[in-house]
Structure 1
Amino acid sequence: MAAGAGIDIYSGVARMAGKVWASLHRAERPSRTAVVVVHPSSNFLGHYLLGPLAERGVDAVGLNTRYIGNDSALIMENCVLDIGSAIGFLRERGYERIVLAGNSGGGGLTAFYQSQAESPTVRATPAGDPPDLTKAVLPPVDGLVSLMAHPGRALVYTEWLDPAIVDEHDPLKRDPGLDMFDPRNGPPYSAEFIERYRAGQLARARRIAGRVRSRLAELDERPGELRDLPFVVHGTVADPRFLDMALDASDRTPGTLWGPVETANLMPASLGHHTSLRSWLSQWSVDDSNCDGPLHLARTSVPALVMYGTADQVCFPSHARSMYDAVPHDDKRLVPVEGGNHYLQGQPELVARVADTLVGWLEAKGLRG
């Protein structure tokens, strides 16, 4: 694990170990190909595809970044370094072909990684901190897979941000004209409401980003070593697509990965409620984050496979299409997984189908060894 610009991991044991952790599932016969499944913060040591891929003759790696289980201080550029460490580790151990699979929030991250591995451009985080990715060791991979993935944390976060919140310290003070939970607005939601709603989301995101930059400027002027502060963001699971199935139509049912939408929107365990100033700019700010999946996919040259679940409540068909359309060459494939939910929970037959599809694609592209 390459060192970050400051202490951004709570665990002293993890910092002192200086490592990122992964689990390797080996095929019965030696494999010269490894599929690496990654996410910015989710624990993928036991990812549901690892065993099925190994059973089909392909070594599979569930990779965690240094931010496993806690994204409150996550820096996307450090996640890129962590992937680079893992890819280098696997290359040194003889893997001739490595395919990087981004699941859920890993889709934008893997695109970011390969873009910087092929042609690095990012010299600092949005806050101006290290790392300089143009000087990092980032071995390119041989293929990219986007699996039930969205185009990037900042992009999807803005699509989910609740614009009805008028007081950042009190989420119960709300603007009824921008409240997707007010039955007078829907569902179904009118095109006019959606237009105002999306504009309200972007405006709120930019207000938060403005306060973040002001606060960082204050810290820069303050004597001492304090460089960052934590803060809370309320209302982060409020995309109208969670309730109106006609928007970005698919086979999904109303609701979220965390349960009923209105509850998930405010519950502490759902997306991105706890963050730091510097992490906000790197991870969640739509105008600042470097992790824009379509932008980076457009800078890659390797074969790409995009798979999406038609019953996914998190990543919608337009997310998959934006990733697929961004790939700048014709060596790409878009595959709907009919009836698939976000993590294929309770769907073993679809896990097998996804594994078969991925391995078949590897063979077709000459990436299986």
Structure 2
Amino acid sequence: MIKFSGIASSVLLASAVSLASPVASAQSEPTYFTSGGVKALYYKPDSNPKPRVGVLVVHRTSNYLSALACTELSKRGYGVFCMNTRYENNELLVDWDRIALDVKVGVDYLRKQPGMEKVILFGHSGGGPTLSFYQAVAENGIAFCKDPRKIVPCSDDLSKLPKADGLILADAHPGVPVILLRSLNGSVIEETPKKFNPQLDPYNTANGYNPNGPSNYSADFQARYYAAQSARMNALIDSALKRAQEIKAGNGPYPDNDMFFIPHGGNPGAGPGGASQLHSLDLNISLRKTNAPQKLLKNDGSVSTQIVTSVSPVELGTMSSTMSFDRGTKQLTLRSFLSTQAVRSTNSLNGIDHCSSNNSTICAVKSISVPTLVMGMGGYLFIRDSEEEFEASKATDKDLVYIEGATHGFTPCGNCINANGASEYSNSVKNMFDYINTWTLNRYAKSSPPASANNNPRAEGGAGRLPF
């Protein structure tokens, strides 16, 4: 283990109007804010200059200053702090737990706004593990992130983070390490480009690959491939830990850090096409659907309870992209890999030790008590992941809903399976943010949240960081 440097109805109605007036409009000139490595825009509705509920929106490395949630939530009456971390567009240098200090800046900012009573964290995609990690530490202290299972424990300076009042996970992935694990080409031999075990090669037609349409991998191949992905990740972790120990002992090529490249590992900057995830190639992989009937918010605004299956099409470009350097090679450092991208497992499907990493939505929600809303996008690939986040959540007030035909970015999917273009899912954005608004009003327009709503229909380096 390495350590890196009750209220009357009239009052409720008034509160609801102040939160989300139907005539509210998104702020035309959001306020720019910067502090240290944090950059942000604070959006308020022009018609409601002192919102009672604030929402923090952030990713790990992406620019979220003009994310869709910024305008959609502010025009519904919320103050929205859309921020970028110190690692904006810089995956190479990420040191995972430093991001929590950036999130603290945003929470503090919202708490200081006139009239602000509640703060909600909105975690989209990589913002899911970012904000769930923050809230888990804020609720439980640094004991959570110093768990002996962690490959890289956190620093002492994460103590006493201010807690938020709610958590929204919007197509949040289960954690950066899980995405890498499932993106690794499990047939790679000795971490050598273009050196593959043909019996494990997902792009070998003998194994079920179809270059022109949906692939069809047998249960036996899937089991062997998932185990091979885990074996490869575990070997990468062991190699990185050994090199980090050599640096700590003064025997490394540099005194502080070193490069760490992963061929055929998928480059997040290149989009999903840079990854070798079986469920992006085979429509029958179990990750593409829920285990149990769940709520599906349909385009017409109705809600059905059913097994939800992704309508996302297969990704036919993964073979060419994963073979390249720019699109298929993870370009990291020892620090950014071990702190942000590494997780232990026995297989990449359901044998993941989520709590071996601090970058894990599924581990974090097990320790989060505030009301939690989990939303999955029906036109993308985090279907089972969203359900698992909901199942793992400790919150007694929690909800899970899927948005029919929504892409990972919430917009209507135009090329999804069995769809007649984007028009079939034209209300995905409106339906999603209206649902969020109703969920929020039901909890934060009142003096206290309900006891349970599981089925609601509608700072620099810390002490002792070694070796870096």
Give the TM-score normalised by the residue count of structure 1. Answer: 0.88
User: What SS does structure 2 have at the residue aligned with 1:222?
Assistant: coil
Please say if residues 405 and 412 of structure 2, whose CA atoms lie closer than 8 Å, have aligned partners that are also in contact.
Answer: no
1:353 aligned onto 2:431? yes
CA RMSD of aligned residues (A): 2.5
The alpha-carbon distance between structure 1 residues 368 and 151, as it changes in their structure 2 partners (threshold 3 A), is: farther
User: What SS does structure 2 have at the residue aligned with 1:49?
Assistant: helix
Per the TM alignment, residue 281 of structure 1 is displaced from its structure 2 partner at its CA by 1.1
The alpha-carbon distance between structure 1 residues 191 and 329, as it changes in their structure 2 partners (threshold 3 A), is: same
Partner of 1:164: 187
1:343 aligned onto 2:409? yes
Partner of 2:255: 226
1:205 aligned onto 2:233? yes
Partner of 1:56: 76
Partner of 1:11: none
Partner of 1:13: none
Partner of 1:242: 280
Provide Cα deviations, 1:142-198, integer angstroms capped at 9, x if missing partner. Answer: 110111111111122111211111132x32111111111111111211111111111
The alpha-carbon distance between structure 1 residues 271 and 324, as it changes in their structure 2 partners (threshold 3 A), is: farther
1:276 aligned onto 2:333? yes
User: What SS does structure 2 have at the residue aligned with 1:151?
Assistant: coil
1:110 aligned onto 2:128? no
Per the TM alignment, residue 319 of structure 1 is displaced from its structure 2 partner at its CA by 0.5
Partner of 1:10: none
**Alpha-carbon distance in structure 2 between the residues aligned to 1:83 and 1:190:** 43
Please say if residues 142 and 367 of structure 1, whose CA atoms lie closer than 8 Å, have aligned partners that are also in contact.
Answer: no
Q: After superposing the two structures, state which structure 1 stretch, 58-67 or 224-233, moved more.
A: 224-233
Please say if residues 123 and 133 of structure 1, whose CA atoms lie closer than 8 Å, have aligned partners that are also in contact.
Answer: no
Partner of 1:34: 54
Matches within 5 A, 1:284-323: 284-287=341-344, 288-312=356-380, 315-323=381-389
Per the TM alignment, residue 130 of structure 1 is displaced from its structure 2 partner at its CA by 6.2
**Alpha-carbon distance in structure 2 between the residues aligned to 1:38 and 1:171:** 34
Q: Which amino acid aligns with 1:189?
A: Y
Identity %: 28
1:46 aligned onto 2:84? no
Instruction: Select 1:190's aligned residue among 188, 195, 218.
Output: 218
The alpha-carbon distance between structure 1 residues 64 and 209, as it changes in their structure 2 partners (threshold 3 A), is: same
Per the TM alignment, residue 61 of structure 1 is displaced from its structure 2 partner at its CA by 2.1
1:69 aligned onto 2:89? yes
Per the TM alignment, residue 89 of structure 1 is displaced from its structure 2 partner at its CA by 2.0
Give the TM-score normalised by the residue count of structure 2. Answer: 0.70
Per the TM alignment, residue 233 of structure 1 is displaced from its structure 2 partner at its CA by 0.8
The alpha-carbon distance between structure 1 residues 270 and 150, as it changes in their structure 2 partners (threshold 3 A), is: farther
Rg (Cα) greater in structure: 2
User: What SS does structure 1 have at the residue aligned with 2:121?
Assistant: strand
1:21 aligned onto 2:48? no
Q: Which amino acid aligns with 2:311?
A: D
Unaligned runs of 5+ in 2: 6-33, 209-214, 266-274, 289-309, 345-355, 414-425, 448-468
Please say if residues 153 and 358 of structure 2, whose CA atoms lie closer than 8 Å, have aligned partners that are also in contact.
Answer: no
The alpha-carbon distance between structure 1 residues 220 and 160, as it changes in their structure 2 partners (threshold 3 A), is: same
Partner of 1:9: none
